[in-house]
Amino acid sequence: MQGSSRLVLAHFWAAFATFAVAIPLGAWQMLVRSPLHQWIPPELYYRAVTAHGTTFAYVFPTLVAMGFGYAVCSVSLGRPMRGLPLAWVSFLLVMAGAAMALAPVAAGNANVLYTFYPPLLGSSYYYLGVLLAVIGSWIWIGLMVWHFRRWKIDNPGLPVPLAMFATTVGALLWGWTSLGVSAEIAFLILPNAYGWTPTVDPGLARLLFSWTLHAIVYFWLIPTYISFYVLLPQAAGGRLYSDKMGRIAFLQLLIFSMPIGLHHLFVDPQIGAGFKFLHAVFTGMVAVPTLLTIFTICASLEIAGRLRGGRGPFGWIAALPWDRPFVLATGLSLLMLGLGGASGLINMSYVLNSTVHNTQWVTGHFHLIYGGSIVIMYFAIAYELWPRLTGRPLAAPKLVRLQLWTWSVGMVIVTLPWHLVGVMGQPRRMAYYDFTNSALASQGIWVSVSAIGGFVLVFSAALFIGVLLASHRGPAAAISPLKFSLAVNPPRRLPKSLNSFGIWALLVLALTVANYGYPLAQFVFLNKSAVPAFPVSQNDRR
Amino acid sequence: MSTLPHDVIEESERRWAYVVAGVIGLMFAVIIFSSVHWAAQPPSNVETIDASRLHLAGEFVEENLGTAVQPDGSVIVRVIAQQYSFVPSCIIVPANAPVVFRVTSPDVVHGFLIMGTNVNSMVVPGFIAEVRTRFDKPKDHLMPCHEYCNVGHEGMWAHVKVVDRQEFTKSYGGQPRASCAG
Amino acid sequence: MTDGNQPTSRDSRFAIWIGATAGLFVFALAVGFIWLPSAQRGADGLDLWGAICRAVGLPSGNARVSAPVAGRPASQVAWTTETRRRLAQGDSRAGAAIAQTCNNCHGAAGISADAIIPNLAGQSAAAIYKQLDDFKSGNRNPAVMGVYVSPLSDQNLLDLAAHYALLPNPTGDTLSTPSSTNSVARRLIDVGAPLRGIAPCASCHGPVGVTPGAPWLGGQQRAYLELQMQSFKDGTRRNDISEQMRSVARQLTSDEIAVLAAYYSNVSNVVGR
């Protein structure tokens, strides 16, 4: 990968190292709150949830997105990446931030969960660490945007390769949406933690967090979608159905992912229902690029299938090379996306949301869509990149397939019962439940099933790490270079609207002002709503 | 790929886009219909209150918590959500009457749902959360806190008893603020 | 729209998308701020303008807030930032001087010799301050304490609280590591009884979590503890803000109260702050 292999590998190894620790934590959490285990003193549970959530929200996906971004940048632009020293600084800042945040968590001084809703207050190092990791990633954003613009200047009038275009979308989106949690930490929480402001407004904090909370999952999603568009068709032996639709989908993700965060606050008392409805409408819009992507990707797969001799309306499905990891992963990902996307549509449905808000349905939903559809493609990307990064072929293709299957099956076993107990009314974030009570007894068996699924995931995670380790240490061989998929009709020229971001960035800004302007501004004149902090640490007594 | 000319691809994508627009449009229609006809919508009042002084004066003093019958037969239930209990911990309401929950917190963010119903709200200190509902039949419901509020969160469960109108008036009608908290 | 072969004509996509987005915004505004609120205002007796203001989220003087049933607040102490600031400024040396009188009953080292008189050594400053203020205001039965507290100023109370908080609690530290949860007391302390409305004692009284004003219980006098919990249970003591302790004590059985008092009196506070 022309000099950036070590950079990409560092990001991926760091990401998967955190993954290797946080997955068993998750399985343990599921076990101890199930009927399969007696109740534990709750502090340890919340400590684990904070560690697991912080890792999977702020560390793991950021590292994957950054690493994959560098890989795309190096390969798709046809020339080596520049600014490597800056990229390494960025990596180190992210890792330093992660360490700074996770150390107090491990010590039990930051049991605030990754959502850290003030006025709960943990160790200030926790927030500093998260902020540092986020700010470190902004260097990556700068590098992606710089490379995008540099290439355009050097190749006037030519379409920017889709992979780079989409990566830049992800970078811009992350830059804009990370401002919410950064502002919350920098201007609300830390000043209060250090005693510069005596109180903190929990309504404003939740509002700022909602700015980040939805679009961050699209930041995680974009590497997955990029891989659908630029790696899958090639892996399946076909072509991308429409390059243009890919750009349209990514642009819609850029525009609609962020100004919809109030759908996390549907039942909050600090926002008027008019704005809640406004965000609900725009949340409906963010389903569009996903639905367009599903069509385009299925069509691309159909091309590959028919090229391999598939006949009839569905014969092409069987003809696809399912033994190839990327194709298998995509199929499994799309199945989980169908399930998880459907439950997401319930969440956004304004009124129906109150049936599921803060029940285990929500937790089931985002584990399915993130841990399932998104992360399985992270595995696929890793498997695809590994030979090119290490110069060694992937070890044990059979184990790779087993790993992908066990991950999917495990994820479905974990999350489907989870949705069910949510509908049965089980609240989130409790260390244990009294399943002897008749109203809760029927939930018990499903929680146990989920817990068992958790251990299937641990097995799959171990396989994944094992395959990567074995591949890294295998014998060197000649590896074909990474190539991105060709479209059926590769564009020779593109209109400005599909090849640049200037105007779209203005639209994002305008929508942000429209959708978040008043809800934020109202805090200037709302009084009485700020409250003193409540430290969570057991070492911080009054 | 000469068998897949550009405009054929475009046309198929466009047709799919119409399907997508239709699906999304249908969802909006359902949401709007249910909001208009069942008057069901997320809470909308924005009211602030001094969280640290709730017990000293105002709507959420101890004596004012619980179920208050209004002249029109509806009830207002005032509840405090605190680390780690709801007050009153046993909430009594009559069936088939409009019920308004008004809930706030003196400390951190909590939430509550009433199992078996769609009553569901965050409770943010500094703000009053208001939820309107109606219970159709006499039943006992559990009401857990559903937002992490620090280490005692898992212990935060209240009970909601729905009794029929006559029994409510007979057993609780005399009290200005009723509860079954004992 | 263009394909790969022709030169780009005027790019209408910007106009179309921006126009459509603006149109969607206007639609959502019309439905969310006008139509829906007007369809639902009946329930609140609002006129259209009031309903729109409510939908925007303008703070309302709510018509529901009628005159509250008044009573006596459980405590005059409120955990405002002001109170916390004042607590942090208590002068322990001034407190030590005032405590000469207190030592007669509560012991020179803050450990009393009488099972019904509470130990104060190492107690949370917030808890001490609150109880002293409650005695002074009469929110807690001032039968014995009243005569000692009434001549003291608010600053005196803060200083006393600071003084006692610094006194060491001499017995060993065994509460911090929960052992088996088989015993009734340990179970209540570590995991509580959720569906009875009993959160783990340790989540408010430490060492796992501390809520404002919650006293440390480890090493406390057994008879005192038992009496206080019984008093919360039957309502004769009601100075706990918003029934925090009464809610819990009502659910505890007398046996459980006895077992908890016995357990806590035998172990010390977690040392260190």
C236-254 pLDDT, tens digit per residue, is 999 999 999 999 999 999 9
Which residues from chain A sit within 8 angstroms of residue B115, using beta carbons?
Answer: 424-425, 439
Looking at residue B2, what is its pLDDT? 52
Q: Is the pLDDT of residue C273 over 80?
A: no
At B80, which amino acid appears? I
Task: Determine which one of A308, A401, A429, A472 is catalytic.
Answer: A429
Q: Is the pLDDT of residue C269 over 90?
A: no
Q: Which of C167, C166, C165, C184 is nearest to C263 (CA)?
A: C184
Q: Is the pLDDT of residue C34 over 50?
A: yes
Output the CA torsion B130→B134→B138→B139 (10° steps): -50
Q: Is the pLDDT of residue B92 over 80?
A: yes
Chains touching C (at least 3 CB pairs under 8 A) are A, B
What is the pLDDT confidence band of residue C64, given thresholds at 50, 70 and 90? low
Query: Cβ–Cβ of B82/C42 closer than 8 Å?
Result: no
The answer to whether residue A401 is catalytic is no
The answer to whether residue A218 is catalytic is yes
Question: Using an 8 Å Cβ cutoff, are A120 and A42 in contact?
Answer: no
* A302-327: pLDDT as tens digits: 999 999 998 999 999 999 999 999 99
- Distance from A42 to chain B by nearest Cα, in Å? 6
What is the pLDDT confidence band of residue C268, given thresholds at 50, 70 and 90? low
The answer to whether residue A366 is catalytic is yes
| Residues ≥6 apart with Cβ < 8 Å to C46 | C54
Looking at residue C271, what is its pLDDT? 35
ipTM of the complex: 0.94
Query: Cβ–Cβ of C194/B76 closer than 8 Å?
Result: no
Arithmetic mean of pLDDT over chain B: 92
Q: What is the mean pLDDT of residues B159-164?
A: 96
Q: Is the pLDDT of residue C267 over 80?
A: no
Q: Is the pLDDT of residue C180 over 50?
A: no
Q: Is the pLDDT of residue C172 over 50?
A: no
Q: What is the mean pLDDT of residues B64-84?
A: 94
- Report the alpha-carbon distance of residue A494 to residue C9 in Å, rounded: 10
At B116, which amino acid appears? G
Instruction: Tell me the residues of chain B between 28 and 47 that have a Cβ less than 8 Å away from chain A.
Output: 28, 30-31, 34-35, 38, 40-47
What is the pLDDT confidence band of residue B45, given thresholds at 50, 70 and 90? confident
Q: Is the pLDDT of residue A268 over 90?
A: yes
Q: Which of A379, A401, A385 is nearest to A323 (CA)?
A: A401
Looking at residue C63, what is its pLDDT? 60
What is the pLDDT confidence band of residue B174, given thresholds at 50, 70 and 90? confident
- Least reliable range by pLDDT among A260-274, B3-17, B89-103, C165-179: C165-179
- Least reliable range by pLDDT among A158-167, A254-263, B125-134, C179-188: C179-188
Looking at residue A440, what is its pLDDT? 96
> What are the start-end ranges of the H helices in A395-487?
397-423, 438-472
Question: Using an 8 Å Cβ cutoff, are A369 and A337 in contact?
Answer: yes
* C128-144: pLDDT as tens digits: 999 999 999 999 999 99
Which residues face B112 on adjacent strands?
B121
Query: Cβ–Cβ of A41/C58 closer than 8 Å?
Result: no
Task: Determine which one of A365, A388, A392, A419 is catalytic.
Answer: A365
- Distance from C103 to chain A by nearest Cα, in Å? 23
Arithmetic mean of pLDDT over chain C: 87
Domains of chain A: 5-540 (1.20.210.10)
Looking at residue A539, what is its pLDDT? 54
Q: Quick one: which H or E segment has residue B98?
A: strand B98-104
- Report the alpha-carbon distance of residue A337 to residue A374 in Å, rounded: 8
* A429-438: pLDDT as tens digits: 999 999 999 9
Q: What percent of chain A has pLDDT over 90?
A: 91
Question: Using an 8 Å Cβ cutoff, are A350 and A410 in contact?
Answer: no
What is the pLDDT confidence band of residue C176, given thresholds at 50, 70 and 90? very low
The answer to whether residue A429 is catalytic is yes
* A183-242: pLDDT as tens digits: 999 999 999 999 999 999 999 999 999 999 999 999 999 999 999 999 999 999 999 999
What is the pLDDT confidence band of residue A538, given thresholds at 50, 70 and 90? low
Q: Is the pLDDT of residue C255 over 70?
A: yes
- Report the alpha-carbon distance of residue B93 to residue B179 in Å, rounded: 8
Which residues from chain C sit within 8 angstroms of residue B56, using beta carbons?
Answer: 73, 76, 78
Looking at residue C5, what is its pLDDT? 39
pLDDT higher at C65 or B23: B23
- Report the alpha-carbon distance of residue A466 to residue A461 in Å, rounded: 8
Chains touching A (at least 3 CB pairs under 8 A) are B, C
Which chain C residue is nearest to residue A520, measuring alpha carbons? C57
Q: What is the mean pLDDT of residues A498-503?
A: 94
The answer to whether residue A365 is catalytic is yes
- Residue C262 three-state SS: helix
Among B52, B115, B142, select the one facing A532 at the smallest CB separation. Answer: B52
Q: Is the pLDDT of residue A449 over 90?
A: yes
What is the pLDDT confidence band of residue C179, given thresholds at 50, 70 and 90? very low
- Report the alpha-carbon distance of residue B163 to residue B165 in Å, rounded: 6
- Report the alpha-carbon distance of residue B94 to residue B89 in Å, rounded: 17
